[in-house]
Structure 1
Amino acid sequence: MDQTTLVRMLRLRTLAARKGAPFDVERFAADRGHAKATLKTLLQIDDDELQAACRQMMETLRLTTPSRRGGAPSTVSGSLDAPAGASPAADASRELVDSEWP
């Protein structure tokens, strides 16, 4: 794991801890399924900084696919950049994917 990924992971852990969310760094780094589940859970917390860190980590770990419509990518839980009140189903163009662990 490169230094940038590690720093981002530790920042994510700190932000999660501030919200009282569990974050097992060792398991997150070793188990891709656990990392995906953790990110999905953290994305549900209403905190812009935490959500931004989750999106950044998803990109770092290549857990997303580009939009099929050529627009901005989103996550399984919907676009985090969508206006308030927008439906998560409105932007289901990017999904968590199973790819090689970096």
Structure 2
Amino acid sequence: SKQRADGYRQALIDADIIPNSEYLVDANWSLKEAHQQTLALLNMEQPPEAIFCGSDYMAMGCYQAIAELGLKIPHDVAVVGYDNQQIASESFPALTSVELPYSDMGK
């Protein structure tokens, strides 16, 4: 989790974007917490245009919050998950998800 956050910050810096620490929140790997954190993010004065979730499961909490606010994915806010679980393709709209080639990495 810390490595992912550090990677996020470094990717922004590499792209000449100043990281906004208010956008980096911890949902504690919980769907409910992801829902609550998404509501908080999207109610900010300058909400993010995209949310990258630490897992597809947490992305489902994000999807719930976005729907609750009457917003549309990806028109109003984009969402990306992580780990490419089956739920990613079964959600609507289908969740864009990062999949790491774990078996190749282990070779």
Point out the structure with max Rg over C-alpha. Answer: 2
User: Greater relative contact order (Cα 8 A, min sep 6): structure 1 or 2?
Assistant: 1
TM-score class, shorter: 0.3 to 0.5
